[in-house]
A and B are shown apart, each in its own frame.
Chain A
Amino acid sequence: MTTLLYEDVGAGLVHEALPYRDDEEYLAGIVPFVHAAVAAHQPVLVEVPGTRGEQVHDALGLDAARVQFGNMTQDGRNPGRIIPAVLMRFADAHPGRRVAIVGEPLWPERSPHVYAAAMQHEALINLAFAGRDASILCPYDRAALPQQAWVDAERTHPALRVDGRRTDSANYTDPRAVVAAIYDEQPPPPADARVCEFTVVAAARQFAYDWATRAGLPGERVTDLVIAISEIGGNSVIHGDGGASLLTWTQDEWLVCEVRDRGHITDPLAGRLPPPPMTESGRGLLMVNHLCDLVQLKTGPTGTAIRLWMSLLPG
Chain B
Amino acid sequence: MVEIIGARGSAAQSSGELRIAWVGEPVRLAVVGEIDVSTHGQFRAALHELLGALGDVQLDLTGVPFMDTRSVTLVVHTAQRLHEEGGRLVVHEPPSSLVRIFETLWGDDRAWLYISGRRGEP
**A residues at B contact (CB < 8 Å):** 200-202, 205, 209, 219-220, 222-224, 226-227, 230-231, 234, 237-238, 274, 278, 280-281, 283-284, 286-287, 290-291
**B residues at A contact (CB < 8 Å):** 34, 36-38, 44, 66, 68-70, 73-74, 77, 96-97, 100-101, 104-105, 120-122
Is the Cβ of B97 less than 8 Å from the Cβ of A280? no
Which residues of chain B are within 8 angstroms of A220 by Cβ–Cβ distance?
A: 96, 100, 121
Which residues of chain A are within 8 angstroms of B34 by Cβ–Cβ distance?
A: 202
Is the Cβ of B100 less than 8 Å from the Cβ of A224? yes
Instruction: Tell whether A223 pairs with B69 under 8 Å between CB atoms, given A201-B38, A202-B34, A209-B122.
Output: no
**Secondary structure call for the A interface:** helix
Which residues of chain B are within 8 angstroms of A227 by Cβ–Cβ distance?
A: 68-69, 97, 100-101
Instruction: Report which residue of A202, A219, A227, A280 has the largest number of chain B beta carbons within 10 angstroms of its beta carbon.
Output: A227
Q: List 6 A-B contacts (CB under 8 A).
A: A231-B69, A234-B68, A280-B73, A280-B77, A283-B73, A284-B70
Is the Cβ of A234 less than 8 Å from the Cβ of B101? no
Which residues of chain A are within 8 angstroms of B121 by Cβ–Cβ distance?
A: 219-220, 222-223
Q: How far is the CA of A290 from the CA of B107 in the complex (A)?
A: 13
Q: How far is the CA of A290 from the CA of B97 in the complex (A)?
A: 13
Is the Cβ of B97 less than 8 Å from the Cβ of A223? yes
Cβ of B93 to closest chain A Cβ, rounded Å: 15
Is the Cβ of B74 less than 8 Å from the Cβ of A284? no
Which residues of chain B are within 8 angstroms of A280 by Cβ–Cβ distance?
A: 44, 70, 73-74, 77
